[in-house]
């Protein structure tokens, strides 16, 4: 065996070998820590801090420079604070619409029916009414003499005709004439009187009451009249000589066509009074869409109508037959009534707020009246 004769070289060799072995051992140790063998879980050692005991009555001082904790879990939900707060402005409010003109709450054309009562007795003025305007509705007294000629002429000119049926007033001293209805009559007598009126002339479309402030308060009498008119296809206009009239209620129960007077034109036979009454009729028509006025063959009425009628077209007002302003009631089951209105023509009971002229006629006129203005004494025999 050959021996090395250089001891110094041997020492160096051994030193290098030892160094390499130590290095390899260190590398292997690091690798084992980072990659433990399969089936072995790494262990993590957490050093617990050594809590310091704080003395009693200790009050922690918070450094204002420390950031405050957030109040939201998700910072994305927090809106950025604007650089400057915008100036507050009151919300814009539109001014309320101007109130509607109370004199024109309906749409044109506005409809007015003018009924001329007491036709046939004063032949001169009755003839003047026939020749005045064919749009007027003419109501003839059934006991007027020789009605055939004038009523045929009026019908030929285009007038709508009515029977102006006398009925008992509250004043017992007033005579209703040879044809008329009294409260103490039997139904048979009422029928006879109505048959006389129906035979007085031809071509009529309806009937209204002459006087009648007493009889129109009688439900039994009004029921009889309404049934007779309904059987003949005639309408009824309540002249409203008294506010307590039950005609409208009975018409609802019986299914008869009816309407009510709004304005009397001429219980003062002066042109000034007639002009005022026509103006009121016009105002009611503009507000409600329609109105019914009743006048008589008098000089002031003829003159007032002659002035007024040509002015209506520019105001979109039409003069119509009284029948176009009537309505009918159909009797429903169990005695309850249901109103049935014509599809094209307005009715006098369309609006519960409808303004009407409330004139109460009594015979004679009492000292205190519920009318809207003091009224003169009515002409004898008219109501």
pLDDT(291) > 90: yes
pLDDT(62) > 90: no
Structural domain boundaries enclosing 188: 110-340
In-domain check, residue 216: yes
In-domain check, residue 253: yes
d(CA 358, CA 261): 10
In-domain check, residue 350: no
Give 100-129 as a 3 state SS string.
CCCCCCCCCCEEEEEEEEEECCCHHHHHHH
In-domain check, residue 218: yes
Q: What is the pLDDT of residues 215-249, one digit of tens each?
A: 999 999 999 999 999 999 999 999 999 999 999 99
Q: What is the pLDDT of residues 303-332, one digit of tens each?
A: 999 999 999 999 999 999 999 999 765 433
Percent of all residues in the chain with a pLDDT value above 70, rounded to a whole number = 61
Say what the pLDDT of residue 127 is.
98
In-domain check, residue 302: yes
In-domain check, residue 179: yes
CATH code where residue 237 lies: 3.20.20.370
358 falls in which pLDDT band (50, 70, 90)?
very low
Count structural domains, the chain.
Answer: 1
Say what the pLDDT of residue 15 is.
73
């Amino acid at each position: 065996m050959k021996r090395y004769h250089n001891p110094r070289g041997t020492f160096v060799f051994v030193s290098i070998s030892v160094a390499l072995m130590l290095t390899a051992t260190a590398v292997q140790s690091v690798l084992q820590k980072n990659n433990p063998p399969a089936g072995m879980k790494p262990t993590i050692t957490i050093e617990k801090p050594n809590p310091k005991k704080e003395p009693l009555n200790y009050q922690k001082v918070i450094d204002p420079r420390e950031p405050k904790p957030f109040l939201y879990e998700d910072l994305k939900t927090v809106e950025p604070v604007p650089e400057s707060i915008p100036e507050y402005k009151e919300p814009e409010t539109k001014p309320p619409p101007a109130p509607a003109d109370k004199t024109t709450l309906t749409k044109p054309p506005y409809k007015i029916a003018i009924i001329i009562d007491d036709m046939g007795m004063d032949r001169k003025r009755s003839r003047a009414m026939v020749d005045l305007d064919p749009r007027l509705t003419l109501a003839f007294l059934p006991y007027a003499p020789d009605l055939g000629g004038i009523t045929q002429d009026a019908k030929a000119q285009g007038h709508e005709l009515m029977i102006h049926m006398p009925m008992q007033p509250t004043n017992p001293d007033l005579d209703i004439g040879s044809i008329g209805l009294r409260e103490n009559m039997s139904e048979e007598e009422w029928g006879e009187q109505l048959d006389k009126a129906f035979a007085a002339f031809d071509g009529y479309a309806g009937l209204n009451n002459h006087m009648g402030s007493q009889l129109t308060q009688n439900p039994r009498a009004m029921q009889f009249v309404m049934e007779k008119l309904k059987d003949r296809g005639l309408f009824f206009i309540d002249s409203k000589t008294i506010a307590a009239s039950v005609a409208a209620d009975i018409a609802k129960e019986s299914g008869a066509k009816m309407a009510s007077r709004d304005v009397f034109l001429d219980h003062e036979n002066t042109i000034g009074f007639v002009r005022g009454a026509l103006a009121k009729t016009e105002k009611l028509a503009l507000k409600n869409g329609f109105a019914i006025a009743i006048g008589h063959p008098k000089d002031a009425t003829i003159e007032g109508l002659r002035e007024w009628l040509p002015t209506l077209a520019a105001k979109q007002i039409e003069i119509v037959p009284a029948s176009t302003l009537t309505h009918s009631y159909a009797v429903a089951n169990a005695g309850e009534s249901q109103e049935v209105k014509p599809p094209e023509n307005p009715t006098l009971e369309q609006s519960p707020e409808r303004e009407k002229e409330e004139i109460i006629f009594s015979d004679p006129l009492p000292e205190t009246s519920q009318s809207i203005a003091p009224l003169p004494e009515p002409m004898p025999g008219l109501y």
